[in-house]
Amino acid sequence: APRPPVLNGSLWVLAGEQVRLTCGAASHPAPIVTLARGRRVLATAVYEPQVSLELPAAAPEHAGEYLCRAENQHGESSLAFN
């Protein structure tokens, strides 16, 4: 199964700032990495080690819980963050 995903560090974001989130996980075979907010998938990387999401200007409505999930045929692991 994929190793637990890792986020691109600790981020503090102010409204109006550009945000780039990168989440990655290592596995063999390569995982499918998905970044979602609630049930809405925001970005997917198929058989790549990481997925990225860029917001041109952060806004209060972007706040909330996100989930980075890595999966392959051997299992899955995930990381929730705000």
Residue spans of beta strands (DSSP E) within 1-82 = 6-7, 19-24, 32-37, 40-46, 50-55, 66-72, 75-81
* Whether pLDDT at 11 is above 80: no
Q: Which residues pair with 28 in a beta bridge?
A: none
Q: Model confidence at 72, in pLDDT bands (50, 70, 90)? A: very high
**What is 6-81's CATH topology?**
Immunoglobulin-like (2.60.40)
Q: Model confidence at 62, in pLDDT bands (50, 70, 90)? A: very high
Delimit the domains of the chain by residue range: 6-81
Measured CA distances, 29 to 9, 21, 80 (Å): 25, 23, 23
pLDDT score at 81: 93
| Contact criterion met (CB below 8 Å) for 62 and 47 | no
Angle (CA) 67-70-72 rounded to 5° is 150
Mean pLDDT of the chain: 93
